[in-house]
Amino acid sequence: MSFIPGEKELVPTGYEAITVNTAIGITATVLTPASGVYSGVHAVGASISIETDAIRYTIDGTTPTSSIGHKIAADDIFYIFGKTALANLRMIKITNNASAKVTVFHVGAKMA
């Protein structure tokens, strides 16, 4: 995602579709792949689109509720950066189950 020469690029390396009902986060194997080019390396960022209904989320390890946490409406996209924030991400439905689409990013090689 970087377009600055000499900077490291964010490379999309994982995808997950999540049904948001009770408090849930990104699956650990999506954040830290067991095989492939990024084996054992933790994701550094994620793009999350909310498809069907509003949610709330936290990134400090606490559990969100239908009234506590950052509110994200259906059809919105939000971004989370940092290993700890990604590992601590928790999402919960506000009223109805929601569908979230997650793309995670790792740091790639320097761009020429």
From residue 66, give the alpha-carbon distance in Å to each of 43, 50, 112.
28, 15, 46
111 or 17: whose pLDDT is higher?
17
Q: Which two tokens stand for residue 95?
A: 């009223």
The CATH label, of 3.40.50.2000, 2.30.110.10, 3.30.465.10, 2.60.120.770, for the domain at 11-110 is 2.60.120.770
> pTM score, two decimals?
0.83
Are the C-beta atoms of residues 72 and 56 closer than 8 Å to each other? Answer: yes
pLDDT score, position 29: 82
pLDDT digits (tens, 9 = 90+) for 7-35: 677 788 889 999 999 999 998 888 876 66
Q: Which two tokens stand for residue 38?
A: 């990024």
pLDDT digits (tens, 9 = 90+) for 24-83: 999 888 887 666 666 666 678 999 999 999 999 999 999 999 999 999 999 999 999 998
pLDDT score, position 28: 85
